[in-house]
Structure 1
Amino acid sequence: MFELILKVPEAAVEAVCDSLEALDAQSVTVEDADAMTAAEQALFGEPDMPPPKAGWNQSRVVALFALEAGAREAAGLLQAQDFFEGCVVLGVQPVPEQDWVRLTQSQFAPVEINPTFWIVPSWHEPPAVAREVIRLDPGLAFGTGTHSTTRMCLRWTAQRAWAGQRVLDYGCGSGILAIGAARFGATDIVAVDIDPAAVESTRLNAQANQVKLQAGLPDLAKGEFDLVLANILATPLKVLAPLLCAHVAPGGHLVLAGILSRQAGELTEAFAPWVRLAVSDEEDGWVLMTAQRD
C-alpha cells in the first residue's frame, strides 16, 4: 500500500477529494495541516451543531493506493487540473505493514457500567470485580457500551431485577440493551430494528452471551411489555411516542436515550399525552429519560 500526501488550501479540498476517489483511491483522509502548531484551528462545535466553517485554511490530504504507480499517476493527473492551483504534492510513500486486527482490538478495552457490571470484548479477560459480564465485539451495529447513552441505559437496567418480566429493545442495534436485561433476569425478550444487519448482529451477540431472545424487524414487537427500552435519537423518538407508549404495560417502565440535555423538554412534551417523562441520569451532555405507566 502507498500513500499520496498533499497539502491543499480550503477552497480546493472538495474537488481534490472527489478526484482522488474517482482515481480509485482506497481511502482519503483530511486533517489540519497546521495541527500541533500555533495556527491550528478547531472546527468542531457543540453536539448537534454545525462546525464554524467548512474546512481548515490548509489541509493535509492523504490518499491510499494499492500500488505506487497508481499513487504517482494520480499525483500527475491532479497537477494538470486548474483546481489544483495552490496545492502541493508532499510525496508518495509506502505504508508500513501492520497487524490491523491487533491494532483495532487494542482500541477497545473493557467498559465499566457499574463496579460489578462490565462490557468485555472477547479478546479481554473480565476484571476480577465483574459479577455480570456482556461479551461484545465492535461490529457494524451501534451499541458497544462505550457511548454515554448505552451506559446510562445499562446502569438503569442493572438497578432492578427483571425476573419473569417481558422486555422490548426497540432499535436494538447490537442487542446490548436486550442482553443487559437478560443479565438481570428477563427471559421473555424481543429486540427489533429497521436494519437487517442490526437484527443479525443482535442474534449473534445473543448467542455469544448464551441469551435467548427474539430478534427481528419492528413488526415483531406485539403486545405490552414490562420494560420498553429505546436508545435512538430525539427526533425519531418523538415520532415513535404513541407506538412506544402503546407497548408499555400498566405499571411498566419506559426508558429513552439518545437525547441531548437541551432536548429533554421537547421529549417531555411529545410523550405527555401518555406518560410523564423525567430525567433519570445525565452524562457528557446526554440524558436518560424514564417513565412508569399508570
Structure 2
Amino acid sequence: MFELCLLCPEDRVEILSDALDALDALSVSVEDADAQTPAEQALFGEPGMPAPKDGWQRSRMVALFAEESLAKEARDLLAAQDFFDACQVLGIRKVEDQDWVRLTQSQFAPVDITPDFWIVPTWHEPPAQARQIIRLDPGLAFGTGTHPTTRMCLRWIASHDLQGQRVLDYGCGSGILAIGAAKYGASRIDAVDIDEAAVTSTQLNAQANAVSLNAGLPELAQGTYQTVLANILATPLKVLAPLLCAHVQAGGHLVLAGILERQAQELQQAYAPWIALDVADAEDGWILMTATKAP
C-alpha cells in the first residue's frame, strides 16, 4: 500500500476527493494541516449529519493506493490539472503491512456505563467488577456505548426498574438500548429504525446477548409503552414529538438523547403540548432529557 499526501485549500477538497476516487484511490482522508498549531481550526458537527465544511483552510489529504505506480500516476495526472493550482504534493510513502483487524480491535476496549455495567467487545474478557454486560462489536449501525448520548441512556436504564415493562427503542441503531432494557428486566421490547441495516444489526446483537426483542421498521411500533427511548438527533426528535408522546402510556417514561446542551429549550418547547421535558443528565456538551406522562 502507498499513500499520496497532498496539501490543498478548502475550496479544492471536494474536487480533489472526486478526482482521487476516479483514479482508483482505495480511500481518501482529510485533516487539518494546521492541527496541533495555533492556526488549528475546530470543525464541530453532529453524528449522522453532513460535515459543516468540506475541509479546513489548509487541508492535508491522504489517498491510499494499492501500488506505488498508481500513486505516482495520480500525482502526475493531478499536477497537470487547472484545479490543482494552489495545491501541493507533499509526497508518496509506503504504508507498512499491519494486522489491520488487530489494530482496529485495539481501539475498542470495554466501556463502563456504571461501575458494574459494561459494554464489552467480543474479543475482550469482561472486567472483574462487571455484574451486567452487553457484548457488542463496532458495526454499521450507530451505538457502541462510547458516545455520551448512548452512555447517558444506558445509565438511565440501569437506574430504573424496567421489570416486566413494554419498551420502545425508536431509532435503535445497533440495538444497544433495547438490549440494555432487556438486561434490566423489560420483557416486551420493540426496536425500530428506518435503516434496514440497523434492524439487521439489532437482531444479530440481540442474539449475541441472548435477549428477546422485536426489531423492524417504524411501523412495528404499535400502541403505548411504559418506557420510550429515542437516541437520535434534535431535529428529528422535534419532528417526532407527537408520535413519540403518543407511544408513551399514562404514567410512562420518555427518554430522549442526541441533544446538545444549547438545544434544551427548543426541545422543551417542541414537546410542551404533550409532555414536560427536563434535563436528567449531561456529558461532554450533550444532555439527556426525560419526562413522565401525566396519568
TM-score by length of 1: 0.93
2:42 matched to which residue of 1? 43
Q: How far is the alpha carbon of 1:290 from its aligned partner?
A: 0.8
Separation in structure 1 between the aligned mates of residue 183 and residue 282 of structure 2, nearest angstrom: 23
Q: How far is the alpha carbon of 1:62 from its aligned partner?
A: 1.5
Distance 1:249 1:35, change over 3 A: closer
Separation in structure 2 between the aligned mates of residue 216 and residue 27 of structure 1, nearest angstrom: 33
CA distances 1:105-142 after superposition (whole Å, capped 9, x unpaired): 11111111111111111111111111110001000001
Q: How far is the alpha carbon of 1:192 from its aligned partner?
A: 0.5
Q: How far is the alpha carbon of 1:19 from its aligned partner?
A: 1.6
Write the mapping of 1:110-259 to structure 2, written as runs, cut at 5 A.
Answer: 110-259=110-259
Letter in 2 for 1:156: W
Q: How far is the alpha carbon of 1:47 from its aligned partner?
A: 6.5
What SS is found at the alignment partner of 2:122? Answer: coil
Distance 1:138 1:269, change over 3 A: same
Contact 1:43 1:52 in 2 (8 A): no
Give the superposed CA RMSD. 2.2
Letter in 1 for 2:174: S
Contact 1:10 1:58 in 2 (8 A): yes
Q: How far is the alpha carbon of 1:9 from its aligned partner?
A: 4.0
Q: Please identify, of 76-85 and 107-116, the stretch whose mean Cα deviation from structure 2 is larger.
A: 76-85
1:269 matched to which residue of 2? 269
Separation in structure 2 between the aligned mates of residue 167 and residue 136 of structure 1, nearest angstrom: 20
Structure 2: stretches of 5+ with no match in the other structure: none
Write the mapping of 1:65-76 to structure 2, written as runs, cut at 5 A.
Answer: 65-76=65-76
Write the mapping of 1:87-98 to structure 2, written as runs, cut at 5 A.
Answer: 87-98=87-98
Q: How far is the alpha carbon of 1:55 from its aligned partner?
A: 4.3
Separation in structure 1 between the aligned mates of residue 121 and residue 52 of structure 2, nearest angstrom: 37
Separation in structure 2 between the aligned mates of residue 52 and residue 193 of structure 1, nearest angstrom: 25
Q: Please identify, of 213-222 and 44-53, the stretch whose mean Cα deviation from structure 2 is larger.
A: 44-53
Structure 1: stretches of 5+ with no match in the other structure: none
Percent identity among equivalent residues? 69
What SS is found at the alignment partner of 2:223? Answer: coil
Distance 1:55 1:95, change over 3 A: same
Letter in 2 for 1:74: A
TM-score by length of 2: 0.92
1:33 matched to which residue of 2? 33
Contact 1:24 1:65 in 2 (8 A): yes
Distance 1:55 1:160, change over 3 A: closer
CA distances 1:36-92 after superposition (whole Å, capped 9, x unpaired): 455x42232587999998644543322111122211111111121122234333332
Contact 2:153 2:288 in 1 (8 A): yes
CA distances 1:207-264 after superposition (whole Å, capped 9, x unpaired): 0000000000010111111111011111111111111111111111111111111111
Q: How far is the alpha carbon of 1:170 from its aligned partner?
A: 0.6
Distance 1:166 1:52, change over 3 A: closer
